[in-house]
């Protein structure tokens, strides 16, 4: 009916938002680069803001998402914990399938 597209935001909640598209995007980038600093930079977030977000997320989720690797020849970096990886993988699968389904329904109705 119009030249329109669908927009969506999806998140997990438990007495408020727990984890959603924004944090997922950040963690995917951490996984890719092995560095929170690099990940934050890519999305225009300061390093301290990114740490603050991570702390908030970890408090809400009740488990640790990132392990900080200190030192070494590469000067350290950040890697996802096992539970962090699991969360990112699940959200990734969910988000991809959800996007496909939402677009299918969008085309059906609009």
Contact set with its own copies (CB under 8 A): 1-14, 17-18, 20, 61-62, 86-87, 90-91, 93-94, 97-98, 101-102, 105-106, 108-110
CB 74, min distance to its own copies, A: 32
The single residue listed with the structure tokens 């539970």 is 83
In eight-state DSSP terms, residue 30 is: H
Residues 19, 56: Cα–Cα separation, whole Å? 10
CB 52, min distance to its own copies, A: 22
Residues 21, 69: Cα–Cα separation, whole Å? 25
CB 83, min distance to its own copies, A: 9
Cβ neighbours around 78 below 10 Å, total: 23
Nearer to its own copies, 13 or 67 (CB): 13
Nearer to its own copies, 42 or 97 (CB): 97
Nearer to its own copies, 49 or 86 (CB): 86
CB 37, min distance to its own copies, A: 28
The single residue listed with the structure tokens 């301290």 is 48
Cβ neighbours around 51 below 10 Å, total: 17
């Amino acid at each position: 009916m119009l030249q329109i597209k669908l927009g969506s935001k999806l998140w997990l909640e438990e007495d408020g938002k727990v984890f959603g598209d924004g944090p997922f995007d950040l963690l995917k980038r951490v996984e890719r680069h092995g560095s929170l600093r690099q990940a934050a930079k890519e999305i225009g977030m300061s390093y301290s803001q990114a740490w603050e977000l991570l702390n908030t997320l970890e408090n809400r989720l009740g488990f640790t998402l990132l392990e900080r690797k200190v030192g070494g020849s590469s000067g350290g970096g950040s890697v996802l914990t096992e539970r962090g990886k699991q969360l990112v993988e699940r959200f990734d699968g969910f988000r991809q399938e959800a996007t496909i389904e939402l677009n299918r329904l969008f085309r059906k109705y609009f």
